[in-house]
Every structure is written in C-alpha cells, then in structure tokens.
Structure 1
Amino acid sequence: MKSVLFVCTGNTCRSPMAEGLLKAALPKGSDVHVSSAGVAAMPGQSASRETAVILKKKGAALDRFKSRQLDATILEQTDLVIALSSSHADMVKRSAPEFAQQVNLLTDFIDPEEGLQGVDVPDPFGMNSDAYEEVAEVIELAIPGILSAVEKL
C-alpha cells in the first residue's frame, strides 16, 4: 500500500482538508492510504468546523478524524510527505533528515502555469469561511499533480 501524509501546524485546518480532498479524488478501491499530522498539533482534536463544512460541500467528509502530532513512526510509514508551507517542510527535514527526500511542498504539485509553485498555503485558522474556501481551491489545484506522483510511487 502507498501512503501520503499531509503536514501543517495544528492538524485541524489545512492538512485535514487536503487529506479529505485527496481521499475523495482517489478511485474506489485505491491502494493509497492518506492521512495528516501537525508539527505542533494537540492530539485528539477534531477538524475545524470550517474545514468540515467545506469538505462536506465537496463530498469529502473525514470520518472520525482526530488531530495527531507528527513523529518518526508516522514518517516511517509514509511514502510521500506533502507540507502545506515551506516552514513545515523545513521542520520535517531538520527533525528527521532521513526522510528529507520524501518531503514536498503542496504547491509544487500545481501546474506551473498557475504561478503558485513554491508558494505557502496560508493558514486560515481563526479567519472567515472565504479564507478556508481559498485554501480548498489551492489544494484542489494540486490534486492532479499529487495523483500523478502517487502513481509513480
């Protein structure tokens, strides 16, 4: 089984949203495990209300989701790590250099014509629903590139 991990700060907004959207995009019966974690997460929290609303609108609900702190055990079980910002990618690479080759920035999976490669996905925490919608749009632009990368694993 192939494994994809999304990483953000608290694992309640961006990374669970990416997790849900990628799961919804995968074909039925896919052999890809998708999860998420945070570099500074408080384990056991639900996804933010705004994230849950957006995922539901897009038919991508997360069942029984609980936030979790990123650790070496999670990384050992992962083939592709997708960070939502360059600081998240750097933190993973510094804390676990043996996994550095697996770490990518989400926006690097977006078609270069969009002009978003190398850009951080902004943290919508505490903002209005428009901020969460913008995050979902950026993640959705990356989904085709992520699916292509997963096929090559």
Structure 2
Amino acid sequence: MTPGSHDPSPTPSDPAAGLEVTDLDVLMVCSGNTCRSPMAMALLDHHLRRRGVLARVHSAGTLGWGGPATANSVTVLAERGIALDHHMSRRIDAGMVVGADLVLGMTRDHVGGSLIHDPTAVDRAFIIGEVVRLAERVGPPEPGRPLRDWTTELAARREPGRPPGRLADEVADPVGEPLDVYRRTAERLDGLTEAIADLLVGSMRHQPTA
C-alpha cells in the first residue's frame, strides 16, 4: 500500500471481505495532506466498505508537507472507529490525477492545483461539496454507463466563465486549531463522503469506470 491511500484489497478480518471490488479511483486533495484530504479519504473508504464496495480511495496534497496525519486528525477519526495512524503525507503528481475517475479538492485552489497536473481532468475534478450540490440537480450516476459520463454532466451544470464551485462548497483547513474544530471538520466531511458513497455505490456495480 502506498502512502496516502487505503488498500482496497479485502482481508479475512475486513468487514467487507468477500464483497465487490471495483476499479473506481477517487483522489482527495488538500494542501499538506495531513488533515482534510486524509480524513476525507478514510471516511469515504469507510462508507463505501459499509455498503459492500471496495475501491481505491487515496489522497495527496498540493504542497505535501511530509510526515503523518496530525494528531487531532487521528484522534477525531479514532472517535469514529476509523484508523488514520499509518497515513503518510505525499505531494500530488500527474499520475494520480490522470488515473482518478473523480478528483475531490477541499477548496478551489486544490481543484486548480490538480488541473495543473492534468488539464483534461477539468470535467472530473470538483470541490468536495460542489459534487454533492451538483448531484442534487443531475441525480446519481446511471448504472451501466462510465462514471466519467456522469462527472461530465455535473461539470456542465457549473456556471460558465466562473471558477469551480462556491465558497460554501469548500472545507476550511483545521490545521493548528483545537480538537473541537477538527471534530466539526470531521462531521462535515463525514456527511459529504456519506452522500458521495450513496451516489456512487449502486452505479459502480458491473460498469466500466473509464
């Protein structure tokens, strides 16, 4: 397993062992890859597994500060029964973006930082809250169609000539803040990643992802 990722392979002790392994690749992006994106990665992985789906969910930072997740990130996810103590920060690169079916940045800057590595990802890179908001208008992915068809439909609903998303779609950086701020960040990310898991899970079965 590479740093900044959750291993999608089932193990005998895995509650999702024996359930469906998909080719879906979701990349979470923030700045240092020590707070928001690793929490979002672990939470989405958790929600997908609870729904019986295993996918590649990984994360990176536009800066990639190096080192483990912050102690508060580890603590607030441990409170939810999710381990983050083995995470190691890494910097985003072109291969990560090119290979991802869905790129989810915590802010506009993270979407822009992802597109520097692969400008063609413009129709599959979103602020994390943006993809949930747009999906309320478009609906979930259609089973049997490539996921990237759905992301293209989402991107088409953006306001033309404007930066991606809205300020309300962003997730603020909790780094350096007390534990209660991290808890609020985790709560926000938990709701968003659960909504994304609900959107994805039905359509991921027996369909191509590219």
Q: Is 1:36–2:59 an aligned residue pair? A: yes
* Aligned pair partner of 2:35 in 13, 21, 24: 13
The range that moved more, 142-151 or 121-130, is 142-151
Structure 1 portions without partners, runs of 5+? none
Contact 1:2 1:150 in 2 (8 A): no
Deviation of 1:88 after TM superposition, in Å, equals 0.8
- 1:1-153 maps to which residues of 2 (within 5 A)? 1-27=23-49, 30-43=53-66, 45-62=67-84, 64-110=86-132, 118=166, 119=168, 120-151=170-201, 152=203, 153=209
Letter in 1 for 2:123: Q
Q: 1:78 to 1:111 in 2, by over 3 A?
A: closer
Q: Between Structure 1 and Structure 2, how many residues are aligned?
A: 148
**Is the contact made by 1:6 and 1:15 (CA closer than 8 Å) also made in structure 2?**
yes
User: How far apart in 2 are the matches of 1:50 and 1:108?
Assistant: 26
Q: Which amino acid aligns with 1:147?
A: A
Point out the structure with the larger helix share: 1
Q: CA deviation at 1:24?
A: 1.4
TM-score by length of 2: 0.64
Q: TM-score, with normalisation over the residues of structure 1?
A: 0.86
1:8 and 1:37 in contact (8 A); partners too: yes
* Equivalent residues of 1:109, 1:142 under 8 A apart: no
Change (3 A) 1:31 1:23: closer
Per the alignment, residue 158 of structure 2 pairs with none
The superposition leaves residues 49-103 of structure 1 with CA deviations (integer Å, 9 ceiling, x where unpaired) of: 0000011110111362111100001112211110001111122224421222110
Between the aligned partners of 1:9 and 1:129, the Cα distance in structure 2 is 19
Root mean square deviation of aligned Cα: 2.0
